[in-house]
Structure 1
């Protein structure tokens, strides 16, 4: 069985990773768990089941390599594991709780937690953050049952545990969950001064015109570089509605112009999107004008939200920014959007990303 340090060095030798002292310093925390789970357990009728290894809560700024280390960890595990975005996992849990309540189950958290713990030994979460009160009110009981069942939890986050659900409604009811995390998981900061995600885009072309097969191929390459070929669905909750982005991983989302501007979305949706992703890929932006005026207005609102949030933009379009909107109502106002699109192509755009989700 390959240990984490050997696999990391192999990826460095292959040119797939750049060595980072902070990442190397974090490897033993993952390796401790992997090695414990790989150790054969002595079994007997009167022998008490061994205590599972303590989990890991790895936090730090964006682009530091937390998700990459998690991927390596899961790749080396000798036991059933599930690697999932925390938000997607909680959506699954809420849906199952709703189904069981509708069937008359009095305390649905018990069977839901048992189903999870029966299926995997390790839960590997990406981007633990809690902003929804419905999640905040159930995670304590859910995770207590998972830990009691011997499930090992490893998670990444942009926040230190004490800042989870910060300023949230009825937060005092959530605080025992923070204490539970600290008790059951090693809390460790990945304190690298390098933003590897930003490094990958440094100097790279990020605006492709025209939006043809060659542009798509180049965006595919950037997507694979940023996500390591992994993706899941990201669902944003906005004022009681759900906005779904089908392609997402590790702070990077990918959608077409019509996914984002062809639907009845508004400023609140775009602000939530800009807050939730660090890099957004928008493909197939058409020429704008009278025939798609409503879509053009939404596009202007979207770019404004991304600009203010300093979200990194990668795009393919029918024309260069200055030639996207040449006639019709709104073409004059679009000059500001074109200027912003041009500015967002700069190599240093978004270099002041913060660690706050």
Structure 2
């Protein structure tokens, strides 16, 4: 079975997925998209005849609550698509790349940087797939309409994306949102929009029976978060040493992510809180990943005030962006930091950590207000 639809139907038939009309309609449209991309003329033909503009295959925007199968359908589509000129990337990572390219282009002082950046991104590409489109800042909002118009209309790139929000709700109440409205109009005009809000939250279903806080440190706690990672990413626990890594760009610096897959990242406490990271770094992590696993959290004492302060800032960023958090720790949240500077203020973090373990919190979508 090599088509999106056949693979989706097999999952339903096996009982791994439950019948869902919205999912089925989206799978059918993705199947058509796969066929169109595989049978359409090679984009390279258009690059040799500049007088002819590439006509993109119409893309797809899939949105809905967390755990409704958006990433699953994206997996099926991208894995099934038999063309070389395809790319899949988390939306936040893509926008960091765009801003980096724009900075380099502006140094040339050769005019509007967006067309050459769009052209560079489109080089050798026909289909660009995004996980979790979300807009949280005015810098992204200000350029997205022009950038995506250049990619879709000028460069002929087919866009497929998932999001927790309807197009009309992107960057809601954001600063200078009127400048972002043309992007919404572009999405609604150029992409087919599908809603997935079925009754089954597969992510919570997969995590059933696994707690989010594991103590004390040891093999049993590690095995539990490894199992959570597997259930969220389908990556086999026995191959944990080969999980891909990633890098996040933050203000010209790079944050190394030791394990990064399908919106899930794994960090050690040492890497996150014993290094000089700050609010901007933690915000970038919170925006890039819907789930964070932190291993090796020690019990903190008076000499760990800097680490405790960073941990507070980290949890604030994750909490505000509704990131799912799994932790292996030496002790329970209320005993993490009982004696030291700002231990009183740490009580708010304890409260947040306890809330983040609740079913209500776990059911919230990433970035949900």
TM norm. shorter chain > 0.5: yes
CA-CA distance at 1:289 after TM superposition: 1.4
CA-CA distance at 1:53 after TM superposition: 2.3
1:237-279: CA deviations, max 9, x gaps? 7xx7979472445553332212332244567876786677543
Q: Contact (CA 8 Å) 1:127, 1:250: kept in 2 or not?
A: no
Number of residue pairs aligned between Structure 1 and Structure 2 = 353
CA-CA distance at 1:33 after TM superposition: 0.5
**Aligned residue for 2:77?**
73
Mapping 1:107-256, distance limit 5 Å: 107-147=112-152, 148-229=154-235, 233=246, 235=248, 244=255, 246=257, 247-256=259-268
Q: Contact (CA 8 Å) 2:299, 2:330: kept in 1 or not?
A: yes
Describe the shift of the 1:218–1:14 C-alpha distance in structure 2 as closer, same or farther (beyond 3 A).
farther
Describe the shift of the 1:37–1:13 C-alpha distance in structure 2 as closer, same or farther (beyond 3 A).
same
Q: Contact (CA 8 Å) 1:84, 1:124: kept in 2 or not?
A: yes
Following the alignment from structure 1 to structure 2, what is the Cα–Cα distance between the partners of residues 150 and 331?
A: 56
Q: Contact (CA 8 Å) 1:252, 1:277: kept in 2 or not?
A: yes
Mapping 1:15-26, distance limit 5 Å: 17-21=16-20, 22-26=22-26
**Aligned residue for 2:361?**
350
RMSD: 3.7
**Aligned residue for 1:299?**
311
Question: Which of these residues, 258, 282, 291, is aligned with residue 279 of structure 1?
Answer: 291
Q: Contact (CA 8 Å) 1:245, 1:253: kept in 2 or not?
A: no
Q: Contact (CA 8 Å) 1:210, 1:317: kept in 2 or not?
A: yes
Question: Which of these residues, 64, 67, 80, is aligned with residue 63 of structure 1?
Answer: 67
Q: Contact (CA 8 Å) 1:54, 1:185: kept in 2 or not?
A: yes
SS in 2 for 1:350: helix
**Aligned residue for 1:53?**
57
Describe the shift of the 1:32–1:212 C-alpha distance in structure 2 as closer, same or farther (beyond 3 A).
same
**Aligned residue for 2:33?**
33
CA-CA distance at 1:157 after TM superposition: 0.9
CA-CA distance at 1:209 after TM superposition: 2.9
1:302-350: CA deviations, max 9, x gaps? 556656776543111223456545766677886786676566556x352
CA-CA distance at 1:115 after TM superposition: 2.1
Q: Which moved more, 1:58-67 or 1:334-343?
A: 334-343
Q: Contact (CA 8 Å) 1:8, 1:72: kept in 2 or not?
A: yes
CA-CA distance at 1:190 after TM superposition: 0.9
Describe the shift of the 1:19–1:326 C-alpha distance in structure 2 as closer, same or farther (beyond 3 A).
same
Q: Contact (CA 8 Å) 1:61, 1:355: kept in 2 or not?
A: no
1:36-57: CA deviations, max 9, x gaps? 12226499999x7884321101
Q: Contact (CA 8 Å) 1:311, 1:350: kept in 2 or not?
A: no
Unmatched 5+ residue regions in structure 1?
A: none
Describe the shift of the 1:3–1:352 C-alpha distance in structure 2 as closer, same or farther (beyond 3 A).
closer
Following the alignment from structure 2 to structure 1, what is the Cα–Cα distance between the partners of residues 212 and 68?
A: 21
In the superposition, the TM-score normalised over structure 2's length comes to 0.79
Q: Contact (CA 8 Å) 2:34, 2:81: kept in 1 or not?
A: yes
Unmatched 5+ residue regions in structure 2?
A: 236-242
CA-CA distance at 1:153 after TM superposition: 0.3
Following the alignment from structure 1 to structure 2, what is the Cα–Cα distance between the partners of residues 60 and 180?
A: 19
Following the alignment from structure 1 to structure 2, what is the Cα–Cα distance between the partners of residues 326 and 138?
A: 46
Following the alignment from structure 2 to structure 1, what is the Cα–Cα distance between the partners of residues 137 and 360?
A: 30
Following the alignment from structure 1 to structure 2, what is the Cα–Cα distance between the partners of residues 207 and 144?
A: 44
Following the alignment from structure 1 to structure 2, what is the Cα–Cα distance between the partners of residues 23 and 213?
A: 38
SS in 2 for 1:56: strand
Q: Contact (CA 8 Å) 1:245, 1:254: kept in 2 or not?
A: no
Q: Which moved more, 1:270-279 or 1:202-211?
A: 270-279
